Chains A and B, each alone.
Chain A
Amino acid sequence: AQKITQTQPGMFVQEKEAVTLDCTYDTSDPSYGLFWYKQPSSGEMIFLIYQGSYDQQNATEGRYSLNFQKARKSANLVISASQLGDSAMYFCAMRESLTGGFKTIFGAGTRLFVKA
């Protein structure tokens, strides 16, 4: 069965420090995509970063980087220089192909608290 595992229900980080949010995945599909989304209390899911299964280099988007270790099936999100506005739920997700389409599986999420 395909699944996404986020083992950290909650994380605390000091403002301006870096933090790593863990994500492991399991799939037998050779072609897949990995995503991280941020969900503030308002509910909207905000796209942060994408990593394709065939990408050779780790994805980066501003202060966000994805530590992709394919053999270990992990896709950890690193947030550098944390800001108070980074406090939110963070979801790791995996996109898998279906016949003619796709489905996306989300992990349970990690709640990040940034301390001033």
Chain B
Amino acid sequence: DAGVTQSPTHLIKTRGQHVTLRCSPISGHKSVSWYQQVLGQGPQFIFQYYEKEERGRGNFPDRFSARQFPNYSSELNVNALLLGDSALYLCASSSRGQSGNTIYFGEGSWLTVV
């Protein structure tokens, strides 16, 4: 079975542009969460979606938004990119939206803002 898949794997954007990152969860998983990992730090929670509804949001500005589709795939959108948005963006899926369930991560999307 395929794991969590993310696209694109690498991309370069300029300041002020917009970016869309995509994530397909493990088959049967209904929960998707997004994390930002800046070089040298641990991942920071951005969003969690379950059954197409936002269930959790971290301390990120409104430039960050996301959505989950009927097939449970998800998009993360970032507007008005800043140099500080350069990071590895990780998507994770789990079978349910509860805290006890293991989440499985994709390989991430490496975003560089220049």
Contacts and interface: CB of A to CB of B under 8 A. Distances in A.
Contacts of B104: 47
The A contact surface, by secondary structure, is strand
Given A98-B55, A102-B55, A104-B45, A44 B107 contact: yes
Nearest to A47: B102
A50 interface: yes
Nearest to A101: B55
Given A91-B43, A97-B98, A98-B56, A104 B103 contact: yes
A98 B108 CA distance: 24
Contacts of B53: 100
Most chain A Cβ neighbours within 10 Å, of B41, B42, B56, B97? B42
29 contacts: A31-B99, A32-B99, A42-B107, A43-B90, A43-B110, A44-B105, A44-B108, A45-B90, A45-B105, A46-B105, A47-B102, A47-B105, A91-B42, A91-B43, A95-B100, A95-B103, A97-B98, A98-B48, A98-B56, A100-B53, A101-B31, A101-B48, A101-B56, A102-B48, A102-B55, A102-B97, A104-B45, A105-B45, A109-B42
Interface of A: 4, 31-33, 35, 37, 42-47, 50, 52, 91, 93, 95-109
